[in-house]
Amino acid sequence: MHRPDLAQQAPSLVDKLADTLVKLKETQITVRSGGRLGDTTRIARALDWELDEYLGSDLAAVKDASISPSNEHLTISLLSATTMKYSLCNPDVFIDAINRGLHYEQFGYDVAKHEVLVLGACLQLSISGSHFRHQRDFDAPQILDVLEKIKNVSVVKHPQGQRLPEVCN
């Protein structure tokens, strides 16, 4: 099964998955190094690193321009937003994805993919925008201005998707 398949099949279960990861994050393990017991390490470090790498790398590319539950970029946007909502990873990793989504015209993406980029950024902002507030490269007034411009030029054409930039304001 490909990584985002579970979230694509049952997006409503993403919160349950994140809640399970929160409980796992607090677990401690003893690491064996060279055949002997090593330091007790929180799973949190490993989980942070894995989630940052997994989600961050998948948000860097948009392969599919369709607006559908099977769109991997939108699924990964939902997953990353949920992991931030539960404080499972560092929001710094996702600032770049939000900036690429909101400033899509500066990154040379195919015009057909602009809507997906914007919707991915809006998913993250609507679910976990408060976690970005004190992060570097996050300027809330500028983001509100950009969202307003995006609405005015009608980048989002999908009828249900048009509501998402409104929710971010």
26-42 pLDDT per residue, tens: 766 665 555 544 444 55
126-169 pLDDT per residue, tens: 988 887 777 777 778 888 899 999 989 889 998 888 888 888 86
Q: How confident is the model at residue 118 (pLDDT cuts 50, 70, 90)?
A: very high
Judge whether residue 1 has pLDDT over 50: no
Q: Rounded CA gap, 112 and 95, in Å?
A: 22
Nearby residues of 23 by Cβ (< 8 Å), 6 or more positions away: none
pTM of the full predicted structure? 0.77
Q: How confident is the model at residue 80 (pLDDT cuts 50, 70, 90)?
A: confident
90-97 average pLDDT score: 79
Q: Rounded CA gap, 157 and 146, in Å?
A: 17
39-55 average pLDDT score: 70
H-type alpha helices, the chain:
5-9, 14-25, 43-59, 72-85, 92-102, 114-128, 140-152, 163-168
Nearby residues of 3 by Cβ (< 8 Å), 6 or more positions away: 54, 58
